[in-house]
Amino acid sequence: MLVARIRIMLGALVLAGLMCLAAPAGAQQPTSVNPTASSVNEQQLLRQLNQIDGRITIPDEKAGVLIQPEGRDWRRFHNVTLRWIGAIAILGMLVALVAFYLWRGMVRIEGGRSGRTIVRFNAFERFLHWMTATCFIILALSGLNITFGRSLLLPLIGPEAFTGWSQWAKYAHNYLSFPFTIGVIAICLMWIAGNIPNRVDVEWIKRGGGIVGNDHPPAYRFNAGQKVIYWIVVLGGTAVAISGYILMFPFYGTTIAGMQLAQAVHGIIALLFVAAMLAHIYIGTIGMEGAFEAMGTGDVDLNWAKEHHRLWLEQEQARTGPNESQRQPAVQPAE
């Protein structure tokens, strides 16, 4: 009996030992997946290898990458992060501008209109400004369609209309990029002399540009606020152009990661660019009396120039003499 009991206990001990050895071996099983096995669990493989790629017989090696986790990160960036950045920047700017307008109203010409004008921008400058601005607006709308169209516009106009519009928007985005690039380069060269920061800008910034209250800090042809807009256009325009052409001509010297980076840079800068231009459009229209004329007819009222660009006006008058650089408006206001 005793021998039989000892045998049973020994048997139980051996069995328990075998089970302990077998458990870690079982736990290791999923990590020892054979990727070339005929039936492999895709999720398991992805967890183990971090991406799924294979051998292909065509020269385009990147086509061999079937799944890579960065692709999901990129999709999340495009569908979630970029939309948040755009919504906060653009809606935030709109809300800020409306609030500012309700608080401050239009900045009036304090001395009233003098009825005499001075040339501020010639026809060539205005042509370049409007060409670039028109391209920008169409690029912005067609680009915003890529970011937000599917969730905002598609439910409103339906798939057929959305497809047609998106196709034309894409053509417009591609082709108008060329005149836009030319415009940015021309603007950069044409106005750079007046946009180098100087000491007058420090004073202008300290006095808040005179936008609060009725202060009129002196400025040459471009004040510090306009210089900021100039550099946003030049640097932002260069960045969207370079990243945009990388997207337009994919994989010329770029990898998948390079394309994803170009898209992120393009999307973020473009959306911030749109927000900045809203502020520019505001101050050039309802924000300041007499400002639109500078880019409309090209002439501004003498009192407007005195209040907002006194040093420039003095330079112009010293250069051409007060009577030559000023002219009567084409149409006198009715009494």
Which of 232, 211, 223 shows the shortest CA–CA distance to 289?
211
* 280 contributes a contact to ligand HEM by CB under 6 A: no
* 147 contributes a contact to ligand HEM by CB under 6 A: yes
Nearest distance, CB of residue 68 and ligand HEM, angstroms: 19
* 91 contributes a contact to ligand HEM by CB under 6 A: no
* 143 contributes a contact to ligand HEM by CB under 6 A: yes
Secondary structure (DSSP) of 173-222: HHHHHHHHHHHHHHHHHHHSGGGS--HHHHHHHHTGGG-STT-----SSS
Q: Measured from the CB atom, is 187 or 300 closer to ligand HEM?
A: 187
What's the count of helices (H) and strands (E) in the chain, helices before strands?
15, 5
* Interacting positions 26-65 with ligand HEM (CB under 6 A): none
Per the CB < 8 A criterion, the answer to whether 220 and 309 are in contact is yes
Residue 123, classified by CB atoms within 10 Å of its CB into exposed (0-12), middle (13-18) or buried (19+), is exposed
* 77 contributes a contact to ligand HEM by CB under 6 A: no
* 268 contributes a contact to ligand HEM by CB under 6 A: no
Q: Strand runs (DSSP E) across the chain, as ranges?
A: 52-53, 65-67, 117-119, 299-301, 326-327
* String marking each residue 289-328 x if it binds ligand HEM according to CB under 6 A: ----------------------------------------
Q: Cα 214 to chain center, whole Å?
A: 34
* 204 contributes a contact to ligand HEM by CB under 6 A: no
Nearest distance, CB of residue 153 and ligand HEM, angstroms: 13
* 263 contributes a contact to ligand HEM by CB under 6 A: yes
* 274 contributes a contact to ligand HEM by CB under 6 A: yes
One of 82, 90, 93, 275 touching ligand HEM (CB under 6 A): 82
Q: What angle do CA 2, 6, 7 make, to 5 degrees?
A: 115
Per the CB < 8 A criterion, the answer to whether 230 and 197 are in contact is no
Residues that bind ligand HEM (CB under 6 A): 78, 82, 136, 139-140, 143-144, 146-147, 170, 173, 177, 180-181, 240-241, 244-245, 247-248, 263, 266-267, 270-271, 273-274
